Amino acid sequence: MDFTSVMEKVVQGFELAGVAVLVIGSLWALARAALTFSSGDRRTVYEQVRQHIGRSILLGLEILIIADIVQTITVTPTIESAVTLGIIVLVRTFLSFSLEVELDGVVPWHRSKGKGRPTEPVSE
């Protein structure tokens, strides 16, 4: 087994892990939502399932980006694959950023140490 074959298997492993995170995370979020709904706390179900599925998507995207990077660097190191990787990373980064803002309700640079809360303006 040569280096390229091993790296193809590594890429497939990361792709499988990324898809597994998406599927398992979403199913877990829906199962938790069903339990919360059946216990009578119906007002928070939508927001909770949305948060958990969003976090699963973010993590899955990050893992899939790793697969793309490994593939471009080790399996198909061409200019064309590097440009394709750049476009994929840009699109996935934009999706991740958009999801992060939507889930937290604030842009990352306005977050305080307490995640999701806007920082207080500094008065001098």
Look at residue 24 and tell me whether its pLDDT is greater than 80: yes
Q: Report pLDDT digits (tens) over 81-109.
A: 889 888 988 888 888 888 888 877 777 77
Cβ–Cβ under 8 Å, residues 54 and 103: yes
What integer pLDDT is reported at residue 124 of this predicted model?
A: 44
d(CA 112, CA 108): 9
Q: Report pLDDT digits (tens) over 34-58.
A: 988 888 777 788 888 888 998 898 8
d(CA 62, CA 80): 22
State the helix-helix crossing angle for 45-70 and 3-38, rounded to 10 degrees.
180
Length of the chain: 124
Nearest Cα neighbor of 99 from 46, 60, 45 is 60
d(CA 40, CA 38): 5
This prediction has a pTM of: 0.74
Residue 7, classed as helix, strand or coil, is helix
